[in-house]
Structure 1
Amino acid sequence: MPHTPRSPEAMAADRARYEEHQRRGLNFAPKAPPSPSPRPAPTAEDVLHVRSVPGGWYTTMAINQGQVLRLQAGGLGGSVSLAAWAARDSSERLNLADTVKVQWTTDLGKGRVLFSDMGRVMLSIIEDSSGAHDALTGGSGPTGAGTPNERNTRDNMILAAAKLGLDRRDLPALLTFFAPVRVDAAGRFFWNAALLSGDDWVELRAEMPLTLALSNNRHPLDASLAEVPPVTITLRKPGPVGENDLCRSATAEAIRGFENNARG
């Protein structure tokens, strides 16, 4: 069928609906972000498992609903990229584009949630010392001339997917922690190193049973030449979730996401 151009009136009406939806979403959200989590991280209680991922390497793991995953930076120079799939059906996976879009922000830190492509909440960010995470550019790709053997995020994630019985087509866009990517006035990405301390940490609560892949590499925008330090990953037992839990109530979209979780 031939394409029928839309009238200016129809496009203006669509734009008005979009802006009204955006206004409601932004007005619902807290006007001030929560305070950063303290550094250094407190001693973890209820520990189920601890592992260290060296610089340049990756790991995979299963995490049950309610369990908490702590990522603890071992210094400056490394960033941790995350991919996530629903344990019961790997076709449901992290959708970073929707996560950013429905929460009206790329600033994914304490109090925000990570959505699947089915509109359900996969993970909640319950603690975060820096808020310096990258939802825009992804992890590192194969390196250029001079360092052809350096391990990178893309290759690590392909290996991780294969270990999980998946392939590169199953990989979602990656969220990268401890990666202070920002956008300047000209719309260019830049690395704001002042946002990192070297002992930053973040905690993620699983809102459904999940399979995860994590890769510890230097971010492509990080100009540091320091050796990539190990990251410590701690899995903790489920804890109580209060009625006023910030992640469950901060945005209207998060409320709807948790309602979708409850429907199964």
Structure 2
Amino acid sequence: MNHDNVFLWEERIPGGCHWSGVLRRGVTLRLADVTGNANGAILFFNQEEKLERYNMADTLKAQHTFRLTKGHACFSDMGRIFCCITADTVGWHDTVCGLSDSKLIQQKYGIARYQEHRNQMYRSGMDGMLIELGKWGLGMRDIVANINLFSKVTANNVGELTFHRNHSKAGGYVDLSFEIDTLVILSAAPHPLDTNTTYQPGAVHLTAFTTPITIASECKQIAENLRGLHNTHRFYHPCGGAL
């Protein structure tokens, strides 16, 4: 991180654990893969009106993409932009595979409950998301298609999906620069297609800092993103008009 950026806070999320918090507009959140092969399942909600949330379909079709990386934006279901990806050393983030649930975790890895294993228990992405959503008055009906940061999944000509293990290396990171005051929900549980036969989810390190002015235009190369940013700026304008 550039030392000219104003550091705000940092936190490490152990593999399999979960986190939530509000990122204000004008703040960038850097998510880093600590040891490699992490998965950061993430969802976004408008902090002022939580019925507005991340929309996978609009995000992909507006930018004609299957993956997310630097220069892409994350759209809400109201045509606004939660955040822009302003830096990315990983290069590919999965958008379509969703979350692991407790049944899948049990089938792949067995059972390790808190009563016996304490913090080494096996957690699913779904359970972690539901715990964090509950802290903000949200629940199962608020779980929509999420982004899986650090994970790469490709599709062949007949639609079969392939998970690319070892895609994300230790120290890889992605920067999300927020345009809306956003409630962020994060789970570091394994990707549902992870081919590892042992439950070994990687830790995710979070660092928040003020968004540098020099990267404000990173996602403006796509026409739909310009319209999305215009809608976003109008949301904060006192008269609801153009800035």
User: Would the TM-score normalized by the shorter structure come out above 0.5?
Assistant: yes
Which structure's relative contact order is higher, taking Cα pairs within 8 Å and 6+ residues apart?
A: 2
Per-residue deviation, 1:241: 4.6
Per-residue deviation, 1:57: 0.6
Per-residue deviation, 1:44: 8.6
Structure 2: distance between partners of 1:254 and 1:240: 18
- The answer to whether the aligner puts 1:179 opposite 2:139 as a matched pair is no
1:85/1:184 Cα in 2 relative to 1: closer, same or farther (>3 Å)?
same
Structure 2: distance between partners of 1:91 and 1:103: 23
The aligned counterpart of 2:34 is 74
Given the two structures, how large is their TM-score scaled by the length of structure 1?
0.79
The aligned counterpart of 1:119 is 79
Unpaired stretches in structure 2, ≥5 consecutive residues = 113-121, 236-243
> Tell me, what secondary structure is at the counterpart of 1:102?
helix
The aligned counterpart of 1:259 is 230
Deviations 1:66-96 (A, max 9, x none): 1000001012332001111011100111111
Deviations 1:210-250 (A, max 9, x none): 1111110111211123622321100112321567x131x22
- The answer to whether the aligner puts 1:110 opposite 2:70 as a matched pair is yes
1:261/1:45 Cα in 2 relative to 1: closer, same or farther (>3 Å)?
closer
The aligned counterpart of 2:238 is none
Per-residue deviation, 1:42: 6.6
**Contact conserved, 2:37 with 2:169, CA < 8 A, in 1?**
no
> Tell me, what secondary structure is at the counterpart of 2:188?
strand
Superposed CA RMSD in Å reads 1.9
Q: Larger Rg: 1 or 2?
A: 1
1:130/1:231 Cα in 2 relative to 1: closer, same or farther (>3 Å)?
same
> Tell me, what secondary structure is at the counterpart of 1:144?
helix
**Contact conserved, 1:61 with 1:213, CA < 8 A, in 2?**
yes
Per-residue deviation, 1:165: 1.2
Structure 1: distance between partners of 2:218 and 2:177: 12
The aligned counterpart of 1:159 is 131
Deviations 1:181-211 (A, max 9, x none): 1112332110123532232100000011111
AA partner of residue 147 (structure 1): G
Per-residue deviation, 1:98: 0.9
Identity percentage over the alignment? 28
Structure 2: distance between partners of 1:43 and 1:184: 43
Unpaired stretches in structure 1, ≥5 consecutive residues = 1-40
Structure 2: distance between partners of 1:80 and 1:125: 15
Q: Aligned residue pairs: how many?
A: 222
- Of residues 136, 139, 144 in structure 1, which corresponds to 2:106? 144
Given the two structures, how large is their TM-score scaled by the length of structure 2?
0.85
The aligned counterpart of 2:6 is 46
